[in-house]
Amino acid sequence: MSQESRVRKSLLNARVNLIFYFLTLALSFFSRKIFLDTLGADFVGLTGTLQNLLGFLNLAELGIGSAIGYVLYKPLFDHDETKINEIISVFGYLYRWIGKIILIAGCILACFLPLIFPNTEFDLGLIFFAYFSFLASSLIGYFANYKQTLLGADQKNYVVTAYFQTATIIKTIIQMALAYYTGNYYLWVIVELSFGIIYSFILNWKINQVYPWLRSEVSQGRILFKKYPEVMKYTKQLFVHQIANFVQFQLSPFFVYAFTSLQIVTYYGNYTLVIDKLSLLMNSFLNSTSAGIGNLIAEGNRKKIIEVFWELTSIRFWFAGLIVIPIFYLMDSFIIIWLGEQYVLSRITLYLILFNIFIRLTQGTIGQFLYGYGLFRDVWSSIIQTIIFIIVAIIGGYYWSLNGIIFANCFSLIVILCGWKPYYLYKKGFDASLLQYWIKWLKCCFPLMIAFLGIRSVRIGLSVNNPKSILDWSLDGFMIVITYSLLSTVAMTLIFKEFRFFLFRILKIKK
């Protein structure tokens, strides 16, 4: 596959992701308001809790989908249809087994629902109906929709996104109408399940159109399974990474509550809500390149691989600055206008939060290329990262409360994500000097520093303080974003040749 084709597909994936990101974001505000007003906070809380319970069962997936996605890169590049059919057959066989395990575990968990919801206004019939409807929707993915992994590995995830998000939007609109006019809980749940089934039929019809030669046979999967031992090897490695990240993610709010108070948990949640939404926006654009990276690595041109790595890294730095720098200047005033001055956290807390998110955003390309190379065997690194976080969070939380816990997250990222992961990629993937990485990493930071200081000078020159109204805040934000975009783009283009190459390629493709 040509470089231009890879970029074109990545841009298409990114464009579809961004369009549906904004559509679903806008719809979520309206739908949540209507559901709360018509069905009540208790029902919304009930469905959310049931879906979270089933989310734990989905850990049984073990990372098989990710492992299969990696194994597909090479045969897709070689257009080896026979091998692709075999791998998808193995995937279907494994997913059937996982589906059966989740079904059994789900039925066992259902026995405890009366204990989980002992004091509720809803009768057990509704709770069981909603639970098994959500369980059935989840199982459809394991028994019928497993072929969609092929679309993702083939840089055609925009198909999945377009069909799934369109179905979600239509489903939500119907649920809003039914909730508003009937207020019936059962109808809401029936629509939820029905659209899961409808989406499955439409998705599989589309997959058959895109890949008319695809003839996966789940019955042959057990026989073919032994032919692809790398699937289980990568699955075991990815599972450890997955569990370690899950544990760290789940422990963070627990530590905040344990060493602070429910009030601080709420205050901290206000900040993370805003930042997480902005980070999701960036990832919707940048994560669309993952399958293209796998395809590029399968091609085997080492020089081109490293060049593309730095193109994507420089773009990540630019976007990270676009998120972090405006938040640095605007977050406190936004919280004051939105909620009130009493909800503002200390500047030290904000700095730690921004450092945490900056590291995660800028190091994202490392993870994408490690996945593209299939370098998952450093399972100890995820375990060590979790252990470091737990130890430092306990000590930091005891002595420095919230700031100590956030610092624990930062410290674990510095040790593993900034220390080990680049070394691992350069040693086992690129076979290049790590010194080159850090020199270029610092070069990427320089344009962001120029933009930061430039914005500071403009705000001092215009005597801009913390805006008190939403209009003043919007004007200040507009000035910051425009100033950052101009200064950082010019500086990055002049200083970083890979950034310049990426812009030229985008402009060429758009013509």
pLDDT-above-70 percentage for the chain = 95
Q: Is the dihedral of CA 353, 358, 359, 360 positive or negative?
A: positive
Q: Do residues 72 and 89 touch, judged by C-beta distance below 8 A?
A: no
3-class SS letters over 74-121: HHHHHCCHHHHHHHHHHHHHHHHHHHHHHHHHHHHHHCCHHHHCCCCC
In this prediction, residue 511 carries a pLDDT of 47
Integer Cα distance of 81 and 84 in angstroms: 5
Structural domains counted in the chain? 2
The interaxial angle of helices 3-38 and 262-286, nearest 10 deg, is: 140
- Summary mean pLDDT of the chain: 85
| Domain encompassing residue 144 | 3-227
pLDDT-above-90 percentage for the chain = 35
Same domain, 220 and 238: no
In this prediction, residue 161 carries a pLDDT of 79
Q: Tokens 């059919």 label which residue?
A: 85
Q: How many C-beta neighbours within 10 Å does residue 459 have?
A: 16
By residue count, the chain amounts to: 511
> Nearest to residue 265, comparing CAs of 385, 406, 361?
406
**123-127, 223-227, 298-302, 494-498 — which is least confidently predicted?**
223-227
Integer Cα distance of 307 and 303 in angstroms: 6
Half-sphere exposure of 376 (CA within 13 A, CB side): 22
Same domain, 198 and 302: no
Same domain, 411 and 311: yes
Tokens representing 432 are: 């290049």
Three-class DSSP category at 166? helix
Helix H or strand E encompassing 476: helix 470-495
Residue type for position 459: R
Q: Do residues 38 and 183 touch, judged by C-beta distance below 8 A?
A: yes
Same domain, 499 and 473: yes
Same domain, 345 and 463: yes
In this prediction, residue 210 carries a pLDDT of 85
- Choose the final residue of a domain: 178, 197, 227: 227
Q: Per the domain annotation, does 486 fall within a domain?
A: yes
pLDDT, tens only, 345-367: 999 999 999 999 999 999 999 99
When mean pLDDT is compared over 94-108, 434-448, 464-478, the highest value belongs to: 434-448
Q: Per the domain annotation, does 511 fall within a domain?
A: no
Query: With 70 as the cut, is the pLDDT of residue 381 above it?
Result: yes
When mean pLDDT is compared over 166-180, 245-259, 388-402, the highest value belongs to: 388-402
Average pLDDT rounded to a whole number, residues 232-236: 81
Q: Distance of alpha carbon 371 from its chain centroid, rounded?
A: 15
Average pLDDT rounded to a whole number, residues 30-44: 80
> How many angstroms separate the most distant Cα atoms in the chain?
72
Query: With 70 as the cut, is the pLDDT of residue 62 above it?
Result: no
Half-sphere exposure of 256 (CA within 13 A, CB side): 21
Same domain, 304 and 213: no
Average pLDDT rounded to a whole number, residues 430-447: 92
Q: In b/e form, how buried is each residue of 138-163, taking b as 16+ CB within 10 angstroms?
A: bbbbbbbbbbbbbbbbbbbbbbbbeb
Same domain, 175 and 248: no
